[in-house]
């Protein structure tokens, strides 16, 4: 299962989602590799400590060269392809996108858009778009949909993940309702990622939320997200849908 985490807008929780969704899938018993394509390499800085050194970077991975992902300390079943400043500079090869053990490949993308990202989106089974539920978030989603239309991306593979959500804020409730009304419950994921200080603190200690605060709302939300995606994948397989 190949999942691209993407939003053209920065600061919406893409890297937080890539780290903790990957960790949640590993907790559920699924071999998972997370790939850091952002030239800022925040994901690599957050969980780059490893039990096993590994070989290669995201630049090698994206071009199809052999890569041995690092085993992430404290997260059995989770591996990392570390970032590289020039990861998106070359051509995209398809071979690396399929997890070798039939598991999950989660790709953390930078903000902005490029031809390479368009190719990656077209090769992905799902594109998850995290966004904060405000009106700037709605505008960013509209831009993303235009970009995806340009590369012929099947909107059925898009999932919107509402992040940094607070039910106390009327604007969050209103925007969430507008998203569901416009795109439907199949596209807007039923799980929301609630605002959580623990989610912000964990990367500074080189940990996922499941190591740092396993009983927090952040851990609960990402665990539920992983179970939702696993369930959707199983349903798609049972219905014979080829891409998942």
Beta bridge partners of 34: 80, 106
Whether residue 207 has pLDDT greater than 80: yes
> Given pLDDT bands bounded at 50, 70 and 90, which one contains residue 217?
very high
* 83 or 55: which leads in pLDDT: 83
* 110 or 238: which leads in pLDDT: 110
Whether residue 107 has pLDDT greater than 90: yes
The residue among 4, 7, 38, 13 whose CA lies nearest residue 143 is 7
CA atoms within 13 A on the CB side of 29: 2
Q: What is the pLDDT of residue 32?
A: 96
Hey, how many other C-beta atoms are within 10 angstroms of the C-beta on 191?
19
The residue among 163, 173, 179 whose CA lies nearest residue 225 is 163
Q: Is the dihedral of CA 157, 30, 44, 56 positive or negative?
A: negative
User: Measured over all CA atoms, what is the biggest interatomic distance in the chain, rounded to whole angstroms?
Assistant: 49
Q: What is the pLDDT of residue 34?
A: 96
* 237 or 167: which leads in pLDDT: 167
Rounded-to-integer distance, Cα 17 and Cα 229, Å: 13
The DSSP 8-state label assigned to residue 92 in this structure reads P
Give the mean pLDDT of the chain: 88
Q: Is the dihedral of CA 145, 148, 152, 154 positive or negative?
A: negative
Domain chopping of the chain, boundaries = 2-127+190-238
Which position has the token pair 């989602």? 17
179 phi and psi angles, rounded to 5 deg = -65, -45
* 9 or 99: which leads in pLDDT: 9
pTM above 0.85, yes or no: yes
* 62-71, 177-186, 191-200: which is most confident: 191-200
The DSSP 8-state label assigned to residue 68 in this structure reads B
Q: What is the pLDDT of residue 94?
A: 67
Q: What is the pLDDT of residue 44?
A: 94
**CATH fold group of domain 2-127+190-238:** Rossmann fold (3.40.50)
Whether residue 99 has pLDDT greater than 70: no
Q: pLDDT for 33-81, tens place per residue?
A: 999 999 999 999 999 866 556 789 999 999 888 899 999 988 999 999 9
Rounded-to-integer distance, Cα 81 and Cα 60, Å: 9
The residue among 192, 175, 137, 166 whose CA lies nearest residue 12 is 137
Centroid of chain to Cα 144: 15
Could you tell me if 107 and 1 are in contact, meaning their C-beta atoms sit under 8 angstroms apart? no
């Amino acid at each position: 299962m190949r999942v691209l985490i993407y939003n053209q807008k920065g600061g919406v929780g893409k890297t937080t989602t890539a780290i903790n969704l990957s960790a949640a899938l590993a907790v559920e018993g699924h071999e998972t590799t997370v790939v850091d394509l952002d030239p800022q390499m925040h994901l690599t800085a957050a969980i780059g400590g490893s039990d096993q050194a590994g070989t290669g970077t995201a630049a090698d991975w994206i071009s199809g060269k052999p890569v041995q992902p690092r085993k992430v300390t404290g997260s059995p079943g989770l591996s990392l392809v570390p970032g590289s400043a020039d990861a998106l500079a070359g051509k995209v090869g398809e071979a690396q996108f399929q997890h070798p053990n039939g598991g999950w490949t989660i790709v953390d993308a930078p903000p902005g858009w490029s031809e390479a990202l368009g190719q990656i989106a077209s090769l992905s089974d799902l594109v998850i778009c995290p966004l904060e539920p405000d009106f700037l978030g709605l505008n960013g989603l509209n831009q993303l949909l235009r970009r995806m239309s340009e590369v012929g991306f099947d909107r059925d593979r898009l999932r919107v993940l509402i992040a940094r959500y607070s039910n106390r804020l009327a604007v969050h409730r209103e925007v969430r309702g507008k998203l569901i009304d416009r795109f439907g419950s199949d596209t807007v994921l039923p799980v929301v990622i609630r605002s959580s200080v623990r989610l912000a603190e964990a990367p500074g200690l080189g940990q996922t939320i499941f190591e740092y605060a396993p009983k927090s709302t952040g851990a609960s939300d990402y665990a539920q997200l992983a179970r939702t995606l696993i369930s959707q994948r199983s349903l798609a397989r049972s219905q014979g849908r080829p891409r998942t």
